[in-house]
Amino acid sequence: MMQNTMPWAFDQLQKLRQMRPDLVENAMTRLLGNEPELRWSLVIGAYQDGKISLGKAAEHLNMHELDLKTRFIDLGIPLRIGPATLAEAQAEIQALASWFDKLE
């Protein structure tokens, strides 16, 4: 019976997130805290889609980054290390230059 309600429920959840992000964030935090398999799947999916970094994925999974990196290697999940494009590399260089300027 619950599967029949899912399409509209997901639509409403997405709408509600626009109006009440705090409510949805709290619910997601509780859900992901109670469902480790779901948390793993969502975090790994976000990492593979380039939405979060390896460090952020490790943080969300309560793992050390090196442990997660090892697990990814064991599972055959490609590691994204360093900038993927020239634009990303240039953005990193600009960010570092800006950081060094602030130190002076």
pLDDT value at 14 more than 70: yes
Judge whether residue 1 has pLDDT over 70: no
5 — pLDDT class (breaks 50, 70, 90) = low
Q: pLDDT, tens digit, for every residue of 49-104?
A: 989 889 999 999 999 999 999 999 999 999 987 777 888 788 888 888 888 888 77
| Closest listed residue to residue 43, CA positions, set 23, 66, 63, 17 | 63
